[in-house]
Chain A
């Protein structure tokens, strides 16, 4: 009985499935993550159960960021990349009032993103600065805690 001998062939690693998997991983990271382009590095929002998730079409025209005192006690407010103390923030908002006005003459919703370790008085003062330019609708941002 003659046994057929298999032809001698150098074994090769098939890397195509590996490339497939790596591409899948890249697509996953592209979809599920965001590139670090936060306006403020190190700003940690408070964690809460009850805030409402932000709708995609609900981006306010202005966001006031408030950092914790360890980062900048004198100028804790950051708006559009500029740091302000309270007087500076009030001045900035006053100067911007006209451009913020909606077509019907009302003022838009404004969002405050304050660090969880920022002081309550900074938030209260920011709210009063908003009131001074007749912005009455305020959103206070938090990270939604999952149950």
Chain B
């Protein structure tokens, strides 16, 4: 074609891979994962039995190896609790004391019933569960809700 000039590629040297955009993208990815992610905590389960609010709970009263744990709120905000075992308030580090006493009283068929004020925070219930499991209690359950 007349008058049309094709530009020749002038660079005859080795083709270079452009790194700068790649680095940009990689940094973007890195920042995304830093912002959008979090370290995964180890989630675990307490294996609990259901509180049978009617019949079986009444029958529990007949059993001699029932350990009744009661958690009572010490202030309206529920920041502290009093721990009782079979109506006896536990002194000092109550949850450690609870574990010690449950271990001492443990039998093959012992049933630990965890009860408490309705507004007791779950973190304290989890501590009581922890003490009962650590003491080797074979059966743990929750009492029916207090009214």
Question: Which A positions have Cβ atoms within 8 angstroms of B?
Answer: 15-16, 18-19, 22-23, 25-26, 29-30, 32-36, 45-54, 66, 111, 114-121, 123-125, 127-128, 130-131, 135-144, 146
Contacts and interface: CB of A to CB of B under 8 A. Distances in A.
A124 B144 contact: yes
Contacts, number: 164
Interface in B27-66: 27, 29-30, 33-34, 36-53
Nearest to A28: B33
B49 A123 contact: no
20 contacts: A19-B23, A22-B27, A29-B30, A32-B40, A33-B39, A35-B36, A46-B126, A51-B45, A53-B44, A54-B43, A66-B122, A115-B122, A120-B117, A120-B120, A120-B125, A121-B118, A138-B48, A140-B126, A140-B129, A142-B43
Contacts of A136: 49-50
Given A18-B23, A29-B37, 4 more contacts: A51-B133, A124-B142, A127-B51, A130-B50
A140 B38 contact: no
Contact of A26 (B26, B36, B119): B26
A49 B38 contact: no
Contacts of A127: 48, 50-51, 142
Interface of B: 19, 22-23, 26-27, 29-30, 33-34, 36-53, 71, 116-123, 125-127, 129-130, 133-134, 142-146
Nearest to B133: A50
A124 B48 CA distance: 12
Given A35-B36, A120-B71, A138-B50, A23 B126 contact: no
Contacts of A32: 39-40
A48 B129 contact: yes
Contact of A146 (B42, B121, B145): B42
Contacts of B42: 53, 143-144, 146
Given A15-B19, A19-B26, A46 B122 contact: yes
Contacts of B45: 51-54, 111, 139-142
Contacts of A131: 50-53
